[in-house]
Structures are given as structure tokens and as C-alpha cells.
Amino acid sequence: MISVSPAWQTAQLDHLAPEGFVEISFAGSTFSKNDLLSFTHTQAGCMNSGELPKNSIEFTLDNSDDRWNPNNPDGIGQYLSERQKLIVRYGFDINGTIEWINAGTFFLSEWRTPANGFEATFVARDVLEYMLEEPYTGITSGTLREIAAAALEQANTPDGVAFDIDPRLDNYTISFENIGYKIAEILQMCANAAMCVMYQDRDGVFRITSAAQVFSGYNITPNFSYTHPEFELSKPLKAVKVAYGDGLQYTMESGGTGETQTVNNPMIGTIDQASSVARWVEGTLKSRKNLSGDFRADPRLDVFDKVKVESKYGVINAVVITEIKYSFAGSFRATYKGRITGFDPVYAGYCGELFAGEVT
Amino acid sequence: MEPLVTVGGFAFPEPATYDATTSTIVDAGRNVSGVTVGSVVRHDVAKIELTWRYLTADQWAAILSCFTETFYNNVKFLNQATNAYTTRTMYVSDRSAGMWRRDPDSGKVMGWTNCSLSLVER
């Protein structure tokens, strides 16, 4: 979670939050709340890297003057291009001065400028935009860190995009058959096999890192919640089966009944690694409680942050955010989903399906 | 004397009434305890409501002509929030008036009564 001033934090405790701001810089211009007709920012992630993370924004701008129409010779729409870089920041009026925080770096993925409409809609997402479609052609043996680095190098991301790969990826050496995996899939499998999560942070750094969590200090209280948190109980976990090596499988029994989670990840090569992954996956799925809610947002909460949520019946101390969606229509609101991590604070999260995993 | 309201450089006649509203726009909702919580969207949004007891037909037409071509106008007005003249971009409400009488010879409208309009900050 991004840090802010004490004055910011104090202001957020008031029943009337100060005026909020969103600023988007791209296409050589900066667009403020005066230009925005709508704005949403969604972050989603899986604590055991069973699904690709997503950090994306969607917003609409006034197009009543047709400036975004690509066919308008005097417009600026003709200068739009895919993967154009967008810098977004959030602010609050703190005692007469706007305090800004980074919201993220994004890359334009699509835009819609209906000829008969008055709005132009833009969608942008994190640096995975560069990695979703292109097949990986790099090395097929080496440490997970070397493979991940080769994938990132092939992605040919723009200047200024930084990467941070956890040293624990050096601990595992693997040789695998590349059956046409996409670059993003390679990174996802490396993260999963090293028991890491991956995401792009607000400074634009793409990280593959440990899922170890510490309490972020963020508290979702009833004072600022528009609804009580909704709880949902997933099915109990019966066992975790992890494929490894050449057609081998490691099975970890977890409970008498329930679902069996299967992990098929070609980056898992040994039984030791498979058992570690099985324990890790079990940790993420053992706690069955998920919750969701909506609240007046202080937009510094990120996916994978560990927060407190106050329910009708007390404080839940360890909720890992697995999805957070901010909307801005002059002020910030958010919906969130999280996983209660009562089982083991290190292993947290939720994922329904791992790669080609089968739930039986 | 400074005119109370000037629209696009045209000074309006002195109105009979001048009502000013200053709004704070708030995105508000009720929390789970039923208490209002909200966030400020925008401070000090101005609205002025003007009425004239009587205006000649030419005066009223001159006022209305300010809004014939442009919906948004630069309006200079006395801002109650600062007690000073401020220029803001504003749009106009419905304009209404009642006909006073027509010239029995020419048939021309001689004037309008209870003329009113509002200007709201964009």
C-alpha cells in the first residue's frame, strides 16, 4: 500500500472526505476531473498465481467536439496508438493543497469513439498488455529467474518499465517443453512454481515476489461501508495434487471430503518443489471464507494488501484483498473482494483454478 | 454603479430580486449504521436567480439574445461567497415572463412583467 501523509489519513476519517482528484497523462495532454465523464480502476490478483493478475483502467472523456475521432484531421484521435503509455495519479485536497499519489502506469489497449456519440472511451492495462498474445521463444532450461528474465526481455516493454524478480526464483532449476506458451503464461508459471505472486505496482514496477503479508494498517470500517461485508464459504479442500517432472504427481491430503485441487505446471520439476507448492496451495485454499463489500474509498489500497474489516460481529484482522475496483464520479468509491487468512497469515488468497487444473 | 450581472460583456439591467445560491456538491450515501458519509465533489458552485418586475420588450429581448447562440457564457456577477465580483462559466435556465400589454395601434408588445431566469455555474 502506498504511503501518504498523516493529514491525508486524518482527513479520510472524517464523515465528509475532502475533494478528490484523478489526473491522467497521455497523448501529450493531461486530463483532470474536469475532463472525465467516468473512471474506473480495477486490480485483481490470485495469491497463488493461478490466474494472471490484472491492473486496468477504463475512462470516458468528453468528445462533443469530435477531437478523439480518428477521422477528424484536426483532432488528436489520429495520434492514438496501442500501448501508448498513460500515467495516472490520485489526489485529495488536504488543507488547501492537493496531495498526489501514484495510481499506476498503464498502456492503452483499446478506445472507442462513436461517430454519433459525445463520449470517447479508453481502456488501458498494466505491462502484461505486452505479453498476453506473443508466444514465448526464449530458453527452455535454467533457473526460474533466468527463464522469467528471458520472457521479460522478449516482451520488449517500453523504456522506463522496471522489473523486480524475487531471488527465490534462483532456487529452482527446470527444463521444460515449450508448447506455445505465451510470455505472460511463462511468467505466471515461474511465479507459481516459486510460490510467488506477480503484479505491477503503482510506480510501474512489475514484480514477481513472495506472497508474505504484513498488515497494511488499512481498516475498512462500518463508518465508511455502504453495505455490511458479504461472506461466502468455498467448498472444503480435500487434497492438492501437483504434477511434476515427467508425468509424476505429488498428492497432499488435506481433509476427508471436498474438492481436490490439481496443479499442472511444467516449471515444477522435483518432488520437493511439488510438495512445497502443494503446501502453499493448501494454505491459500484451506481458509474457506471469502468476503466482499463496498465502501467510500481511500484509493491507496492495492490488491494483496492485508487489511482489517469490521463486520457486524467483530473485527476480522487478516483479509487479503484479491480484487479492488475504484470508481470515480467526482469522488472515490470502491468495491472489494478478499480472502480471510485465518489459517496461516503467510499463505493467503483465493483461486478457483490453477492453470489447466481440474477440480474433482 | 457596477452592474450586478454582466453576460458576455452585456450588462443586465438592475434586477428587482437577486437570489444567490452557493452549493457544495457531495457524493453521499448512508453507511451501515444509517449515518450519512460522503466525499466532496466540488466546492462553491454558484447559482444566481434574477427577476425583474418590468422590462421593456427591447430590454428583455436583449437579455435573451445573450443565450440564443451560446449555452455556456462567461458571467460576471456578485459572488456572495467572496463578496466580490467573479467571472464564471454559467448556463441559463428557462427564461419566463408575462406579457404586459400590446400597443393597440401597432400591435407591438410594449413590455414584460415578472421576467425571470437563473444562471448556474457549469
Segment B20-63, tens digit of pLDDT: 999 999 998 888 888 888 899 999 999 999 999 999 999 999 99
Q: How far is B38 from chain A (nearest CA, A)?
A: 5
Total residues found in chain A within this entry: 360
Asked if pLDDT for residue A346 goes beyond 60, the answer is: no
Residue A77's closest CA among A106, A119, A107, A32? Answer: A119
Q: What residue of A is the nearest CA neighbor of B37?
A: A15
CA A194 to chain centre: 18
Asked if pLDDT for residue A350 goes beyond 50, the answer is: no
- pLDDT tens for each residue of B58-100: 999 999 999 999 999 999 999 999 999 999 999 999 999 999 9
Residue A172's closest CA among A216, A124, A217, A208? Answer: A208
* Contact predicate A216/A307, CB 8 Å: yes
Q: How far is B97 from chain A (nearest CA, A)?
A: 32
Identify the contact set of chain B against chain A, taking CB-CB distances under 8 A. Answer: 25-27, 29-33, 35-43
Asked if pLDDT for residue A353 goes beyond 60, the answer is: no
Mutation for A interface: B26, B32, B44, B72, most A CBs within 10 A? B32
Asked if pLDDT for residue A290 goes beyond 80, the answer is: yes
CB contact under 8 A, B37 and A330: no
Question: Cell numbers 499463505 correspond to what residue?
Answer: A347
3-state secondary structure of A50: coil
Ramachandran quadrant class, B115 (left: phi over 0; alpha: psi -120 to 50; beta: rest)? beta
Asked if pLDDT for residue A265 goes beyond 90, the answer is: yes
CA A31 to chain centre: 24
ipTM over 0.95 threshold = no
Residue A296 makes CB contacts below 8 A (sequence gap 6+) with: A17, A224, A226, A331, A332, A333, A334, B29, B37, B38, B39
Count CB pairs under 8 A between chains A and B: 59
- Please give the single-letter amino acid code of residue B119: L
Q: How far is A203 from chain B (nearest CA, A)?
A: 26
* Contact predicate A202/A89, CB 8 Å: no
Confidence of residue A289 (pLDDT cuts 50, 70, 90): confident
Asked if pLDDT for residue A344 goes beyond 60, the answer is: no
pLDDT at A349: 39
Chain B residues whose beta carbon lies within 8 Å of the beta carbon of residue A228: 32
Angle A183-193/A144-155 helices, nearest 10 degrees? 160
**A60/A64 Cα distance (integer angstroms):** 12
Q: What is the DSSP letter of A171?
A: G
CB contact under 8 A, A16 and B37: yes
Confidence of residue A354 (pLDDT cuts 50, 70, 90): very low
Residue A355's closest CA among A216, A207, A193? Answer: A193
Question: Cell numbers 443586465 correspond to what residue?
Answer: B12
Residue B82 makes CB contacts below 8 A (sequence gap 6+) with: none
Closest Cβ–Cβ partner in A20, A222, A226 for B39: A20
Average confidence score pLDDT of chain A: 88
**A33/B48 Cα distance (integer angstroms):** 24
pLDDT at A302: 93
- pLDDT tens for each residue of A52-83: 999 999 999 988 888 888 888 888 777 788 88
Chain A residues whose beta carbon lies within 8 Å of the beta carbon of residue B29: 226, 296
Asked if pLDDT for residue A352 goes beyond 50, the answer is: no
* A30 or A65, which is more confident: A30
pLDDT at A212: 64
pLDDT at A213: 66
Mean pLDDT of all residues in A248-263: 90
* A282 or B115, which is more confident: B115
User: Distances from the Cα of A260 to the Cαs of A15, A45, A78, A254, B101, in angstroms?
Assistant: 46, 22, 52, 9, 88
CB contact under 8 A, B32 and A226: yes
**This prediction's pTM:** 0.86
Chain B residues whose beta carbon lies within 8 Å of the beta carbon of residue A329: 27, 41
In terms of Cβ atoms closer than 10 Å to its own Cβ (0-12, 13-18, 19+), residue B32 is buried
DSSP-assigned letters across all residues of A100-160: EEEEEEEEEEEEE--TT-SEEEEEEE-GGGGTSSSBP-S-SEEEHHHHHHHHHHHHTPPTT
pLDDT at A208: 94
Confidence of residue A318 (pLDDT cuts 50, 70, 90): confident
